[in-house]
Copies of this chain bind each other. A is one copy, B any other.
């Protein structure tokens, strides 16, 4: 879907978009020297080249998403779950898991790559291990089937593992289910999943791992939202590689090898070759552990058995939940003291901060959606009727 959106953006706005983007960039540089220190991230860079953002209410987007998913053939329970997941990610500024995924999901349901009628089945394979089988449907329905039982079993035993298996297509953010476990059930959560083969290991040049995400959540006290970590084990995301190739931008060093296994900052060469894990040999070791937990342990596909697309891959997610109240009554209070100590240094933000800031902004201004994407997803009539006032980019 993303190439189509980009092409559409350029076709419609052409040179004026380019000039506008450059003007925004120049102004930003003049006004804020710290913009030079921009993290190499798609979201921020996209915000510099996106000419128009619209704002919608979360409920409106969810209802519309749900209808489209049902029309494509997804059963109504799953449609509500998937609509909520996509709109929540969009709201939190995590556009890689947001509405941009909707067109591909609709296509995958219509084509039968993803089963629209599948109902996940939940079984207990051991007293402390649950399996939620998506039966060829989307992972998010299998999360919803498994998470409440994962939580209650973890509270009973002190900990529990949930193996989500049999998923097709997009897994979605691991952040959201872990945030739920921590915020609603007071549980520590750890999760990881398998994905198509794009990553090599230290000393290698073949694709042996997915860019598999690893996620972690820790509940907080006094109603604060959980600390949640959710990171790919690759140096940069596949989406960022693809975007850099389209824009002709250089990759950061250490992100990719070409087909001959030589380091490259040429994004096109890196796409043909392999991506590298973050953090050198330590990151590569972590990527191996995540690949083993997210595929071999669950009985889902290894990256080496998958094509370079999620379409036909048997995908799965490893979840672990631990009840922190069993070992120490002061576990959460101790953690709060650590979070405070970290934030005493001016430049430090907790891993969750940017997401919660985006969520707060959305609560005030509505959920921000790229105008071209909104029209692609919902049509021009919907966009004209339901969009809130256009807020200039960068002020939200």
Q: Given the complex, which residues of B lie within 8 Å of A335, measured CB to CB? A: 292, 296
Q: Which A residues, 254 to 291, have Cβ-Cβ distances below 8 Å to chain B?
A: 261, 278-283, 285-286, 288-289, 291
With CB as the reference atom, state the residue of chain B lying closest to A298: B327
User: Which residue of the partner chain, among B129, B227, B296, B345, contacts A159 with CB atoms under 8 Å?
Assistant: B129
B291 touches A338 (CB 8 A): yes
Q: Which A residues, 301 to 357, have Cβ-Cβ distances below 8 Å to chain B?
A: 302, 304, 320, 322-324, 326-328, 330-332, 334-335, 337-338, 341-342, 344-349, 351
Query: Beyond A129-B158, A131-B327, is A337–B302 a contact (Cβ under 8 Å)?
Result: yes
Q: Given the complex, which residues of B lie within 8 Å of A157, measured CB to CB? A: 126-129, 157
Question: Would you call A121 an interface residue if the criterion is a C-beta within 8 Å of the partner chain's C-beta atoms?
Answer: no
Q: Given the complex, which residues of B lie within 8 Å of A295, measured CB to CB? A: 334
Question: Would you call A198 an interface residue if the criterion is a C-beta within 8 Å of the partner chain's C-beta atoms?
Answer: no
With CB as the reference atom, state the residue of chain B lying closest to A323: B126
Q: Which A residues, 338 to 383, have Cβ-Cβ distances below 8 Å to chain B?
A: 338, 341-342, 344-349, 351
A320 to B13, CA, bound (A): 54
Interface size classification for chain A: 35 or more
Query: Beyond A279-B278, A280-B278, A345-B205, is A334–B296 a contact (Cβ under 8 Å)?
Result: yes
Q: Is the interface of A mostly helix, strand, loop or mixed?
A: mixed
B279 touches A327 (CB 8 A): no
Query: Beyond A208-B341, A278-B279, A296-B338, is A326–B126 a contact (Cβ under 8 Å)?
Result: yes
A206 touches B129 (CB 8 A): no
A203 touches B347 (CB 8 A): yes
B127 touches A156 (CB 8 A): yes
Question: Would you call A201 an interface residue if the criterion is a C-beta within 8 Å of the partner chain's C-beta atoms?
Answer: yes
Query: Beyond A158-B127, A298-B328, is A342–B279 a contact (Cβ under 8 Å)?
Result: no
A337 touches B125 (CB 8 A): no
A341 to B282, CA, bound (A): 19
Question: Would you call A161 an interface residue if the criterion is a C-beta within 8 Å of the partner chain's C-beta atoms?
Answer: yes
A337 touches B304 (CB 8 A): yes
A297 touches B328 (CB 8 A): yes
A296 to B219, CA, bound (A): 12
Question: Would you call A299 an interface residue if the criterion is a C-beta within 8 Å of the partner chain's C-beta atoms?
Answer: yes
Question: Would you call A218 an interface residue if the criterion is a C-beta within 8 Å of the partner chain's C-beta atoms?
Answer: yes
Query: Beyond A279-B283, A342-B208, A345-B204, is A331–B229 a contact (Cβ under 8 Å)?
Result: no
Q: For A229, A302, A320, A345, which residue has the most chain B Cβ atoms within 10 angstroms?
A: A345
A sample of 14 more A-B contacts (CB under 8 A), given A200-B345, A283-B283, A286-B286, is A125-B158, A128-B159, A129-B157, A163-B327, A201-B342, A201-B345, A201-B348, A208-B338, A214-B286, A216-B285, A229-B289, A296-B338, A298-B327, A304-B338
22 residue pairs of the A-B complex, CB under 8 angstroms, read: A127-B127, A129-B326, A158-B161, A188-B293, A200-B345, A203-B348, A206-B342, A206-B344, A227-B288, A229-B289, A231-B282, A278-B280, A278-B283, A279-B282, A282-B283, A288-B351, A292-B338, A296-B338, A297-B322, A297-B331, A299-B330, A302-B337
